[in-house]
Amino acid sequence: MSRLGTLEELPLRYREELLQENLAPLWPSMRTVLPHNHPARKTRPTFWSYKAIRPLLLEAGRLTPIEKAERRVLVLANPGLGSENLTATPSIYIGMQLILPGETAPNHYHTPSAVRFVIEGEGAYTLVDGEKCPMGRGDLILTPSGKWHQHGHDGKDPVIWMDALDLPLIYHLEASYAVEGRAQADSDLPDSSQTLFRRAGLLPYRSLGRQKKPYPLMRFPWQEVRSALADLARATAADEAVRLAYVNPETGEECLPVMGFSALMLRPGEERRLTRRSASAVVHVVEGGGEATVDAVDARWEEHDTFAIPTHAEIRLRNLSNTQPAYLFIVDDAPMQRKLGFYEEFPAR
């Protein structure tokens, strides 16, 4: 393998002329941007404890009224990427959001796509283009790019959910902005998860033959996902993963352009090595407790904990309970990588 020339080997006069013309030689930095065989990664396997986050988030509720916060969020910042960058992986933003009884987070839309995954509490809702989506524990709610959305809380106790956005990517492309609007009026009808798309494999007849909607379903109730995982487990061999993808019910494709979502069930006592992939990911524990090894980093996880997985990482997961399954919710950037043509999976060595 040949040695590339360095910047210092070039005459000072030549370097100054390049700088004056806003030019830079590629060869001294070639291996920085195109390393051999494996990408250079700053993202670290990072674990966030919900027990540590929760009291700080509740304190934020006492310190900062919603009128000053607009969205009261603590961001999970990967130390390898710098806390000022507000990113869990290079393309995925994760935040823990709190809304208190009687509060309303004002109506807006923005260019990044977002989802909400509910962690605890009852009585909150999200309005997405007039569709009122109740927020129950474990529910996934989409707020795609350009969709008006606001949050409200009619219940009695704090509600906390996890936000996942493709904000780092959109911000890096200098395309990130939000627009504020007047409060929405809801349709006062059950959301489409309770009416139009209640059962897999069944669609409203009028959907046949028409142009498919990019976002026909905004809410994926956890109780149905959990039930489907249990059913799938009974028909899945012991050496295969029990995992479901969240998809557009009209097209079967991933439900957002950049981020993908899936739910993984670990059977009692199960230890599983996940396929090494080019995608980065964030894992949130819905139920259960266990251990994870991400590359060479070991950690224990409990209910509602969250951890970041860099691209190309080796991942092992273990359910520490011998009697109860564990359930994990996974966000990744595989849809974006597939569209850009460089998504890869690597067989076990």
Strands 73-75 and 131-134: unpaired
Phi-psi sector, 47: left (phi>0), alpha (psi -120 to 50), beta:
beta
The predicted-structure confidence for 195-239, as pLDDT tens digits, reads as follows 999 888 899 998 888 888 899 999 999 999 999 999 999 999 999
Answer yes or no: are the C-beta atoms of 127 and 186 closer than 8 Å: yes
Q: Where are the domains of the chain?
A: 46-346
Distance CA 89, CA 267 (A): 28
- Report pLDDT for 123: 96
C-alpha 7 chain-centroid distance: 40
Q: Decide: helix, strand or coil at residue 337.
A: helix
Helix, coil or strand: residue 261: strand
For residues 189 and 113, the answer to whether their CB atoms sit within 8 Å is no
Position 35, amino acid: P
* pLDDT (0 to 100) of residue 76: 98
Cα distance between residue 331 and residue 283, in whole Å: 6
Q: Is 174 helix (H, G, I), strand (E, B) or coil?
A: coil
Strand partners, 96: 74, 162
In angstroms, the CA 332 to CA 281 distance is: 4
Residue 210 identity (one-letter amino acid): R
Average pLDDT, the chain: 96
3-class DSSP assignment, residue 12: helix
Q: Which residue has the tokens 């009808």?
A: 189
pLDDT in tens, 244-279: 999 999 999 999 999 999 999 999 999 999 999 999
Amino acid at 72: R
Average pLDDT over residues 30-34: 92
Q: Is the pLDDT of residue 2 over 80?
A: no
Residue 31 has pLDDT above 70, yes or no: yes
Q: Tell me the pLDDT band of 347, cut-offs 50, 70 and 90.
A: confident
CA separation for the pair 12, 29 (Å, rounded): 17
Q: What is the pLDDT of residue 285?
A: 98
3-state secondary structure of 62: helix
Percent helix, strand, coil in the chain, to 5, is 20, 30, 50
**What is the Cα–Cα distance from 164 to 23, expressed in whole angstroms?**
37
Q: Which amino acid, residue 328?
A: L
Backbone angles phi, psi at 128, to 5 degrees: -120, 110
As a whole number of angstroms, the distance between CA 132 and CA 135 comes to: 9
Of 236, 156, 249, 267, the C-alpha closest to 202 is 249
Q: What is the DSSP string of 271-311?
A: EEEEPEESS-EEEEEEE--EEEEETTEEEEE-TT-EEEE-T
Q: Which of 256, 238, 237, 236 is nearest to 246 (CA)?
A: 256
Instruction: For 95-128, write each residue's pLDDT tens digit.
Output: 999 999 999 999 999 999 999 999 999 999 999 9
Tokens of 75: 């961001």
Q: Which residues contact 37 (CB under 8 A, 6 or more apart)?
A: none
Q: What CATH class does 46-346 carry?
A: mainly beta
Specify the pLDDT at position 240: 96
Tens digits of residue pLDDT in 145-193: 999 999 999 999 999 999 999 999 999 999 999 999 999 998 888 999 9
DSSP 267: P
CA dist., res. 282 & res. 141, Å (int): 17
**Does 349 have pLDDT greater than 80?**
no
The answer to whether 327 touches 276, Cβ cutoff 8 Å, is no
pLDDT of 1 higher than 70: no
Specify the amino acid at residue 312.
H
